[in-house]
């Protein structure tokens, strides 16, 4: 049975490679699976982009120049 709702998880990141992998794994291990996982890469200069690529097609990436947390959330 398909639930009547869909959950999107949006994770804004800026140079957070130390935490991103465990955050994505935590989302994937939830009993209620999200419809989509979107990582907003807010101009990171570390390995965030590579970590998102390693998760494959299950995680979407949006890259933008560094504009701050509020812009990444919106």
Stated as kind and residue range, the H or E segment containing 42 is strand 36-42
User: What 8-state DSSP symbol labels residue 26?
Assistant: H
Task: Determine the pLDDT at residue 60.
Answer: 94
Please calculate the CA angle 48-56-71 and round it to the nearest 5 degrees. 45
- Between 73 and 19, whose confidence is greater? 19
Average pLDDT value over all residues in the chain? 91
Instruction: For residue 1, name the pLDDT band (cuts at 50, 70, 90).
Output: low
């Amino acid at each position: 049975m398909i639930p009547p709702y869909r959950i999107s998880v949006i994770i804004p990141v800026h140079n957070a490679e130390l935490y991103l992998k465990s955050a994505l794994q935590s989302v994937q291990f939830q009993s209620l699976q999200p419809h989509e996982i979107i990582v907003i890469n807010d101009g990171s200069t570390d390995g965030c982009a590579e970590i998102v690529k390693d998760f494959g097609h299950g995680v979407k990436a949006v890259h933008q120049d560094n504009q701050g947390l509020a812009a990444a959330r919106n």
